[in-house]
Amino acid sequence: MIRARFSRLSETPLDPLDPYPPGPGPSVAECLRSGTLRLERAGIESARLDAGCLLAHVLACPRWLVALEQGRRLTREQFGRFLRLLQRREQREPLAYLLGTREFWSLPLAVSPGVLIPRPETETLVEAALAACAEGSTPASDRQVILDLCTGTGAIAIALARELPAARLIATDISRRALRIARTNAEAHGVADRVRFLRGDLWRALYGVMPGRQADLIVSNPPYIPSGAIKTLMPEVQWEPRRALDGGPDGLRFHREIIATAPRYLRSGGFLLLEIGADQAAAARRVVEAEGSFEGCRVIQDLAGRDRVIVARRQLTMKN
């Protein structure tokens, strides 16, 4: 009877406010099977994985335990929560928003609607930043100063703070919501005392706060999707804040401003690292070289072999 009930629910639109029949809910196996079917019908390629993650979230247990407890029955409250989450996922709301968390650099980070979800490929930027720190003229034992522009959830700043215990970081974002999430994440991972979060549009957050040419490293994952391409992206991406995605007509609007202003804050020999789209390396390199303050510009690929990060070093000898 329960299986039939769940099957009927999977065939018709759900009203989360409808009362659920009394008695025990369906089993984990039934929920997983029917939930997977519904998500497949919604065009979600990771349907079984997502259904399992939602079940684990509702049951407050690891996903591997869901696979071992197929006969476990959900309570009416758990079943109701699962159905509501399933319905939201059918509408292509990102899984990270439903779970309230996303792993980055092996760190669980809080996320919420209105804040960009960290991507695995951005870990390439963290790796490149750590390599630049090792390459730089400032000894690793010294108190390095790192700027993270467009910090979002704080993923990059927090990962670097965890890896560089002596470093001091300043992370900026224009979004109040993003900064609230970033502070929460920094506290959760024990680096809140070394990461200062400031609100403002790129460099404007630093006015009156940081003197010029003190940064050893400037990192950023700015918006870099061309405006006209956003509507062609996956349905899940449409749920994310447009201003965290939209990089202007060619996707490099923010890169240009960052590259033009970075020499004011970056010490001689310091590094600038920017995440880019897979087809933007040549154009981004031209912007860096035209600015005239940088040397050794290079592009780093992510694990999929796509251009992902552009790295440039401020010239060691500058006239001003």
Beta bridge partners of 273: 219, 311
pLDDT for the residue numbered 142: 64
Domains present along the chain, CATH in parentheses:
2-91 (1.10.8), 114-314 (3.40.50.150)
Strands (E), the chain: 101-104, 107-110, 145-149, 168-173, 195-199, 215-220, 266-275, 294-301, 307-314
**Nearest by Cα to 169 from 152, 187, 191:** 191
Residue 158 is inside which H or E element, if any? helix 155-163
pLDDT for the residue numbered 13: 39
How far is Cα 89 from Cα 61, in angstroms, rounded to an integer?
Answer: 20
Mean pLDDT by runs of 10 across the 320 residues of the chain is 44 44 82 96 97 96 89 93 97 98 98 97 98 74 86 98 96 97 98 97 88 90 97 97 97 97 94 97 97 95 97 78
Beta-carbon count within 10 A of 302 CB:
19
How far is Cα 255 from Cα 150, in angstroms, rounded to an integer?
Answer: 11
pLDDT for the residue numbered 10: 45
pLDDT for the residue numbered 238: 97
pLDDT for the residue numbered 77: 93
Structure tokens at 66: 């869901």
Helices 76-90, 28-41: crossing angle, 10 deg rounding: 20
How far is Cα 267 from Cα 212, in angstroms, rounded to an integer?
Answer: 8
pLDDT for the residue numbered 159: 98
Beta-carbon count within 10 A of 243 CB:
11
